[in-house]
Chains A and B, each alone.
Chain A
Amino acid sequence: METSNRELQAAEYLERHQIKELLSYLTSALLFFRPEKPREYLVSLLERLRIAKVTGVAFPFFMDNSNIVAMFEMMDSSGRGTISFVQYKEALKTLGLCTEDEDLKDDGHIITLDKFKEEVNKRMKEIWSAF
Chain B
Amino acid sequence: MDLATAPHRIPPEMPQYGEENHIFELMQNMLEQLLIHQPEDPIPFMIQHLHKDNDNVPRIVILGPPASGKTTIAMWLCKHLNSSLLTLENLVLNEFSFTATKAKRLYLQRKTIPSALLVQLIQERLAEEDCVKRGWILDGIPETREQALRIQTLGITPRHVIVLSAPDTVLIERNLGKRIDPQTGEIYHTTFDWPPESEIQNRLMVPEDISELETAQKLLEYHRNIVRVIPSYPKILKVISADQPCVDVFYQALTYVQSNHRTNAPFTPRVLLLGPVGSGKSLQAALLAQKYRLVNVCCGQLLKEAVADRTTFGELIQPFFEKEMAVPDSLLMKVLSQRLDQQDCIQKGWVLHGVPRDLDQAHLLNSLGYNPNRVFFLNVPFDSIMERLTLRRIDPVTGERYHLMYKPPPTMEIQARLLQNPKDAEEQVKLKMDLFYRHSADLEQLYGSAITLNGDQDPYTVFEYIESGIINPLPKKIP
A residues lining the B interface (CB < 8 Å): 9-10, 13-14, 17, 19, 22-23, 26-27, 30-32, 34, 38-39, 42-43, 46-47, 49-50, 53, 74-75, 87, 90-91, 94, 131
Contacts and interface: CB of A to CB of B under 8 A. Distances in A.
Secondary structure at the A interface, as helix, strand, loop or mixed, is helix
B35 A13 contact: yes
A64 B51 CA distance: 29
A12 B46 CA distance: 19
Nearest to A90: B1
A30 B53 contact: no
B47 A46 contact: yes
Given A10-B38, A31-B23, A50-B44, A39 B1 contact: no
B473 interface: no
Closest 10 CB pairs of A and B: A31-B14, A34-B17, A50-B43, A46-B47, A13-B38, A43-B50, A38-B21, A10-B35, A17-B42, A39-B50
Contact of A31 (B17, B30, B42, B46): B17
A39 B53 contact: yes
A26 B31 CA distance: 12
Contacts of A27: 23, 27
A48 to B, nearest CB: 10
B26 interface: yes
Given A13-B35, A23-B30, A31 B1 contact: no
Contacts of B1: 74-75, 87, 90-91, 94
A90 B2 contact: yes
A53 to B, nearest CB: 7
Given A10-B38, A38-B26, A50 B47 contact: yes
B16 to A, nearest CB: 9
Given A10-B35, A91-B1, A30 B23 contact: yes
Interface of B: 1-3, 13-14, 17-18, 21, 23, 26-27, 30-31, 34-35, 38, 42-44, 46-47, 50-51, 53
Contacts of B53: 39
B84 to A, nearest CB: 23
Given A49-B43, A75-B1, A42 B38 contact: no
Contacts of A43: 47, 50-51
A94 B51 CA distance: 34
Nearest to A39: B50
Contacts of A14: 35
B35 A42 contact: no
Chain B's interface: helix, strand, loop or mixed, by majority? helix
A75 B2 CA distance: 11
Nearest to B26: A38
A94 B3 CA distance: 8
Contacts of A10: 35, 38
A10 B3 CA distance: 32
A74 B6 CA distance: 14
B32 to A, nearest CB: 11
A45 B67 CA distance: 52
A84 B51 CA distance: 48
A53 B2 CA distance: 33
A26 B13 contact: no
13 contacts: A10-B38, A27-B27, A31-B17, A34-B14, A39-B50, A42-B50, A43-B47, A43-B50, A47-B47, A50-B43, A74-B1, A90-B1, A131-B42
A19 B47 contact: no
A47 B51 CA distance: 12
A29 B51 CA distance: 19
Nearest to B2: A90
Given A34-B17, A38-B21, A19 B43 contact: no
Contact of B31 (A19, A49, A74): A19
A19 B42 CA distance: 8
B43 A26 contact: no
Nearest to A74: B1
Contacts of A26: 27
Contacts of B17: 30-31, 34
Contacts of A22: 42
A10 B34 CA distance: 9
Contacts of B2: 90, 94
A22 B31 CA distance: 11
Contacts of A19: 31, 34, 42
Contact of A53 (B27, B30, B43): B43
